[in-house]
Structure 1
Amino acid sequence: MNEQELRETVEQIVDTHAVGTMATVKQNKPHSRYMTFIRKELTLYTATSSETHKAEEIEENPSTHILLGYEGEGFGDEYVEYEGKAEINSSPELKQELWTSYMENWFNGPDDPNFIVLKVSPVTIRVMNKKGAAPKTLEL
């Protein structure tokens, strides 16, 4: 699989599996939770509240690990493993761009001061569990 095919595989997995786990670190211990991600190029974005533990954890340590794609089928069930650096973004333009009506379950609109966006810039991306193939790392 060449770099272009690998990138297309990553994009396809992320686009069809928006929900995954996101791990952060607090006091040298991992904390994982399910999040919904939006992809722009290879950068991931996810909405959260400024009042969550993950916001605190990212301010202290921006390292994150994200898994997207596995469906429980076992061997050959591809998934993507992202190692990245997260940053908090509360830009009104980005919040408006990413806003969906589903977010009304947690926020009072895109102008809600507690609504923030986590931007995850990839450091390493791997395609895992492709049937018959070793894990492949996308060069960034």
Structure 2
Amino acid sequence: MQDIFEKIIDDSAVGTMATVKQNKPHSRYMTFIRKDLKLFTATSLETHKAEEIKANPYTHILLGYEGEGFGDKYVEYEGKAAINSTAELKNELWNSYLENWFNGPDDPDYVVLEITPVRIRIMNKTGAEPKTFEL
């Protein structure tokens, strides 16, 4: 099952990330990088999501649906996020696309959300029940 999860994430890096804002869900599109079962995404300390993660670190992420209909595999990823501002991780994940928001990997507002999985479900695989990976 882990290999299916990894392929979906690697093939579909953009997904929705939901946090909680004033006891209500708040979703946005994000780009994710996978390392083993953890997900990483860049953000600014000046965003609502950073504030929301500080108040409640739990998140729900959807990745992989291609819009083809029944049988499209996708991942429901429930995790616990932490704000990581280590220079090592920021440099590792830095790419030219981030120049649209930050003044380089040393920008103090540039941080990485490090998301550790709590539960991963693979959904809609044709002919198969959803598979849940509890962690």
* TM-score, normalised relative to structure 1: 0.95
Q: What is the Cα deviation at residue 139 of structure 1?
A: 3.7
**Secondary structure at the residue paired with 2:46?**
coil
Contact 2:75 2:121 in 1 (8 A): yes
* 1:60 aligned partner: 55
Hey, what does 1:11 align to over in structure 2?
A: 6
* Aligned partner of 2:113 among 98, 113, 118: 118
Whether 1:136 and 2:134 are equivalent positions in the alignment is no
Cα displacement (A) at 1:138: 1.7
Which of 19, 34, 38 is the aligned partner of 2:33?
38
How many Å separate the matches in 1 of 2:80 and 2:63?
A: 16
- The corresponding residue for 1:83 is 78
Return the alpha-carbon distance in structure 2 between the equivalents of residues 74 and 86 of structure 1.
Answer: 30
**Cα distance in 1 between the residues matched to 2:97 and 2:47:** 19
Instruction: Judge conservation of contact 2:118–2:134 (CA < 8 Å) in 1.
Output: no
C-alpha distance in structure 2 between counterparts of 1:85 and 1:134, whole Å: 25
Q: State how far apart, in whole Å, the 2-side matches of 1:35 and 1:62 are.
A: 16
Q: Secondary structure at the match of 1:130?
A: coil
TM-score, normalization by structure 2: 0.98
Q: Secondary structure at the match of 1:51?
A: coil
Write the distance in 2 (CA, Å) between the matches of 1:37 and 1:45. 5
Deviation at 1:101, TM superposition (A): 0.8
Task: Please say if residues 59 and 80 of structure 2, whose CA atoms lie closer than 8 Å, have aligned partners that are also in contact.
Answer: yes
Supply the RMSD in Å over aligned alpha carbons. Answer: 0.6
Alignment coverage as a number of residue pairs: 135
Among 22, 25, 30, the alignment partner of 1:27 is: 22
Measured in 1, the distance between the counterparts of 2:100 and 2:94 equals 12
Note the residue ranges of structure 1 that are not aligned, 5 or more in a row: 1-5
- Give SS of 2:77's match: strand
Q: Aligned residues: percent identity?
A: 75
Three-state SS of the structure 1 residue aligned to 2:39 is strand
Displacement of 1:27 in angstroms is: 1.4
SS in 1 for 2:76: strand
Superposed structure 1 runs of 4+ greater than 6 Å apart: none
SS of the residue 1:137 aligns to = strand
2:97 aligns with: 102
